Amino acid sequence: MSKSLTSIATHYHQRTKYHPETIARKSQGLDWSKQPSVFKQYKIGTSYDLTVYLSDKATSDEHTPYWRRLSRFLACSYGLTAKIPTMGEPLYLRAAPSAGGLYPAEVYLISRGTPQLPAGLYHYQPQTHSLIYFWESDVWSNLQEACAWDLDLEDAQLAIITTAIFYRSAWRYEDRAYRRILLDTGHLLGNIELAAAINHYRPHLIGGFSDYIINELLYLDPDQEAGITVISLKDLLNPQQNPSQSFKTTTLPSEIHTDYPSISDGELLYYFHQATEIRISERLPDATLSNEISNLEDKYNFPFCLKVSTKTKPINWGENLLNLEQTILKRRSTRAYTGANLTLEELNSLLNFTYQAQDYEDIGLDADPDYFDLSLIETFIAVSGVNGLEEGCYYYAPKAQELRQIRFKNFRQELHYLCLGQELGRDAAAVIFHTADLEKAVQKYGDRAYRYLHLDAGHLGQRLNLAAIELNLGVSGIGGFFDDQVNEVLGIPSDEAVLYITTLGRPH
């Protein structure tokens, strides 16, 4: 081991940046003979078919409403939404987007024991829309121990654990795949939050947990698959599960590792994930919550800059959020834009749904949805074609609800270059960048901060996805870009690490 001046999180981020002079070496052909399956199978276990509850034709009894809600919740979170024929295996699309269609996340359901779901472990099978009951035992106390006896688990009966199968993404994206795994899981978290509201659940994110206990609980080989998030799922129709006792997101810090060896390419992803684990052999410390008093001001207020209000009416998601459910199920990533302009009102509506959750409380959505720590995430927007808005790069100030211009220029050609030559960047009307001060985040949460940042960025990206589809706009996330050049070209402060890019425009 050698002492470094930087944390392993910073080292990983620097090592996995794309650079113009080295990108060609990372563009080698894929070994299709080693392409991983995107579905996990269990050879033993009791299967609960959920497909019959997706329509109103299911035989009705006292348990049918329970099953219908759970079925719709899982379908809107991670269910299959399309089957596309290919030369080989069909490509299955899901409710949550995934880079390269690789879907590294898996979803497990833990039951404390209900009349419908006996206590134990269940795995969600998207291909058949079913639950496999693969472990018949009361494991709730183990879950509570892993989560530092999080108060939200005390009266909940269900919980979700999302995991990642690393090789599914690493097969294509190598060490940088960890970024995409976390962003993809963030998309899934966005769906879980909204699908829960549609079906009268209250999810509570738990990001600080004992990785070892969670992996042992699910019988995982942590070198292949490991826990990423835990979500308590309260039933709002059950008076014994009091939503008023729901606490804010639980985030715990890990260690900051500065003693690490020289790590070979291809091993960095796995080494880094293990470095982000919380390794405490006995009980974790009392959970620290991320509901600190936030700053009343947005981070950047550039002097003499043009400021444009983004305040607008909220999107109408229909009676009982029916439009939201339909939008989740029909969502697709846009493959090409026309280059035509958006309107300022459309851009404002996208930002409103993504950042101003309080405007949606009256229609049944959570006014304060769980994120890990949004105070660490900043948003910049490169505007190439928005009617009523000058071209240039803007900082979005969510508290003030305004755009603050930091650079005057049409960036279409530069965006084409920054997005690795993807025409989506060039033809988009607006490109949104989520960034974070990585060093500040690591000081707060240790190396585990890298998880929290990318999970939150993916969550925001999914809300942008859904708002765009509802407004009949095109939208596509981009996880591959020239990291350093983004800051240089757009004028984004150099201490802001770029996490994620979302392109928006008129679909071709």
Domain ranges for the chain, please list them.
41-275, 307-505
Indicate the range of 160-174, 242-256, 284-298 predicted with least confidence: 284-298
Q: Please state the rounded mean pLDDT for residues 336-354.
A: 98
What whole-number distance in Å separates Cα of residue 372 and Cα of residue 422? 31
Contacts 24+ apart (CB under 8 A), 222-226: 222/274, 223/270, 224/165, 224/166, 224/167, 225/106, 225/163, 225/164, 225/165, 225/166, 226/163, 226/164, 226/166, 226/273
**Amino acid symbol at 112:** R
Tokens of 371: 């994120």
**Would you place residue 166 in the very low, low, confident or very high pLDDT band (cuts 50, 70, 90)?**
very high
pLDDT-derived band at 85 (thresholds 50, 70, 90) equals: confident
Q: What is the rounded distance in angstroms from the CA atom of residue 274 to the CA atom of residue 226?
A: 10
Q: 476 — phi, psi (to 5°)?
A: -155, 130
Segment 109-118 shows an average pLDDT of 96
Residue 87: the pLDDT is: 77
Q: Give the pLDDT band (50/70/90) at residue 240.
A: confident
Output the pTM of the full model.
0.96
For CA atoms 12, 18, 21, 26, the dihedral sign is: positive
Domains 41-275 and 307-505 share a fold: yes
pLDDT for residue 143 is more than 70: yes
Q: Is 448 helix (H, G, I), strand (E, B) or coil?
A: helix
Written out in words, the top-level CATH class of the domain with range 41-275 is: alpha beta
CB-CB contact of 434 with 371 (8 Å): no
Whole-number average pLDDT of the chain:
93
Percent of the chain with pLDDT over 90: 86
Chain segment 359-380, per-residue pLDDT in tens: 999 999 999 999 999 999 999 9
Ranges 172-186, 274-288, 409-423, 436-450: which has the least confidence? 274-288
pLDDT on residue 22: 80
pLDDT at 76 over 70: yes
Average pLDDT over residues 148-170: 96
Report H helices in 49-176. 64-78, 140-146, 166-173
Question: Is the model's pLDDT at 165 over the cut of 80?
Answer: yes
Q: What pLDDT, on a 0 to 100 scale, did the predictor assign at position 342?
A: 98
pLDDT value of residue 291 = 46
Class of CATH domain 307-505: alpha beta
Mean pLDDT, residues 182-194: 98
Predicted local distance difference test score (pLDDT) of residue 247: 64
Q: What are phi and psi of 196, to 5 degrees?
A: -65, -45
Return d(Cα 53, Cα 5) in angstroms, integer: 55
More confident position, 249 or 25: 249
Provide the 10 A C-beta neighbour count for residue 431: 28
Predicted local confidence at residue 282, as pLDDT: 46
Q: Which two tokens stand for residue 352?
A: 């409103």
What confidence tens digit (pLDDT) does each residue in 387-440 have?
999 999 999 999 999 999 999 999 999 999 999 999 999 999 999 999 999 999
Burial of 498 (0-12, 13-18, 19+ CB in 10 A): buried
pLDDT range class, residue 294, cuts 50, 70, 90: low
Instruction: Name 337's bridge partners.
Output: 507
Q: With 70 as the cut, is the pLDDT of residue 27 above it?
A: no
pLDDT at 78 over 50: yes
pLDDT given at position 68: 96
Q: What is the DSSP string of 242-279?
A: -GGGPPP-B--------EE----TTTHHHHHHHHTS--
Burial readout 343-377 (b: 16 or more C-beta within 10 A, e: otherwise): ebebbbbbbbbbbbbebbeebebbeebbbbbbbbb
pLDDT mean over 458-485:
98
